[in-house]
Structure 1
């Protein structure tokens, strides 16, 4: 199987690298600046799961790619529009797209551009970032990709991917209900990123302050209600499990959105809290806590030196 990673950053680069380690045919479609960086240093992964320095196969244009069966899309949501034209020639030749992005609205965008049959369901669990030298710093033990068919015709290809990724130093799970898995992460990360960014607090400090903890819990309740209104089979236990998981995180843990806020970088507020507000309006339900978090974070969407 020939794989193209669009966005060899902290997510796409990590999972692409793990697949490459296992012998997969991986090409990294990147911008010129990242291409030069990779040529000089290689693809460097520093991780508690094992370090590596790989020689990547690099492309800066799709016409440099010789065949592609799967595109792993690992960019931020606000970079998707700029990636569409890059991916189009590969999809037109038969490639599937596996997005590993936060949120849910990108599925509508990708399906509109490429057709529903070409987009797989996918998400990942990892905490990773790029340092100034372009090295991928993986800072927790989780390195999981969950994926699955959004239409029955994709099942066979998903099973082929499972075989192709065998032996890779990562957890790859073929989901039995990818929509529930997508919403499980979306609901959690929308509440988690919302309360940590709006309060400027790490999650342990959020949980130590009872009124702020209640904001977090109510955010989870609203996201669960929204998922159920969308017809997603998300268990009510999602709420307590999410709070419990956060209580076990190391002191100082916070969301990637909060980290980006601290650095003055653009925020995915429209893809997370903003999308939830729009979906709730479409469903005719109220999610006042999420709506408030959205309003507090929105002014920093394009980055700010706080």
Structure 2
């Protein structure tokens, strides 16, 4: 298949690398015209990603599917480009959080999919992504259909597994809750994920935040166990959260799409999240560094 990827961030490059290895023709749409080659590093091996790098949306018009891999706060600048694409071209959005669903509702495309990505990845430099940890990518339809989805799913490998789900919104919400538990505290404390359960003070804060969230979203009591939060911290103990990496790189953090969306959902249920709201206000002040 011909697969277009908008954005050459860590996750977009990860998709491009493994889909290229699966035999697909990959084209990256990037703003940086000086970018000529992309690479992926796994363990101590660095490989070139077989792909084309383009700078015009017109180059993606013939694609069989387009993966939108930019962060939420960059989506609005893509509106005209996405509107110029053929209406039937399927789009796959793989953003964090929940706010991108509001943006998707403004698009004319008739076939739209959502993805939830649990891989660990980081950019070493503008050309190279490092794959830090294997996680499943869940994909589901937001609207419409796409006859070739099964062909995409067959591209999975041990290093890059896919799964089709009918509950993609539920999975996105669960990931947003997990992000709210890990991203804010690691960013404010400026620690790796594992420190949240190794350090007794951080662990108490994490537990209090977890209980606050579960009380607000009591229907999630059976879907998000405390042991799952601990396990995630253990499995990614040496990783830095995406929010902390953004802060360290002086980039705008995804505070509203990760934390703000959950606060808004709690408010719609007439619930309050005082600990998370305090983190939100602190992170909004820290985010001014990236303005």
The answer to whether structure 1 residue 162 and structure 2 residue 148 are counterparts is no
Matching residue within 275, 290, 300 for 2:276: 290
Aligned partners of 1:148 and 1:158 also within 8 Å: no
What RMSD in Å do the two structures reach over aligned CA positions? 2.7
- Measured against aligned partners, the alpha-carbon deviations of 1:10-40 in whole angstroms (never above 9, x if no partner) come to 1111111211122112211111x2x422x2x
The 1:58/1:292 distance shift into structure 2, 3 A limit, reads: same
Where 2:289 maps in the other structure, the secondary structure is: coil
Deviation at 1:171, TM superposition (A): 1.1
Where 2:10 maps in the other structure, the secondary structure is: coil
After TM superposition, the score normalised by the length of structure 1 is 0.84
The 1:227/1:16 distance shift into structure 2, 3 A limit, reads: farther
Aligned partners of 1:148 and 1:155 also within 8 Å: no
Matching residue within 165, 174, 177 for 1:175: 165
Give runs of aligned pairs for residues 120-199 of structure 1, distance below 5 A: 120-138=113-131, 140-151=132-143, 153-154=144-145, 156-163=147-154, 165=155, 170-199=160-189
Count of paired positions: 291
Aligned partners of 2:17 and 2:50 also within 8 Å: no
Corresponding position of 1:245: 232
The 1:101/1:225 distance shift into structure 2, 3 A limit, reads: farther
Aligned partners of 2:139 and 2:163 also within 8 Å: yes
Matching residue within 88, 91, 95 for 2:89: 95
The answer to whether structure 1 residue 112 and structure 2 residue 106 are counterparts is yes
Q: Equivalents in 1 of 2:215, 2:111: separation in Å?
A: 29
- Measured against aligned partners, the alpha-carbon deviations of 1:73-130 in whole angstroms (never above 9, x if no partner) come to 111111111122222222x331122111110110121122336x53212111222222
- Which has the larger helix fraction? 1
Q: Equivalents in 1 of 2:12, 2:55: separation in Å?
A: 15
The 1:9/1:170 distance shift into structure 2, 3 A limit, reads: same
After TM superposition, the score normalised by the length of structure 2 is 0.88
Structure 2: which 5+ runs fail to align? Answer: none
Where 1:104 maps in the other structure, the secondary structure is: coil
Q: Equivalents in 2 of 1:167, 1:246: separation in Å?
A: 24
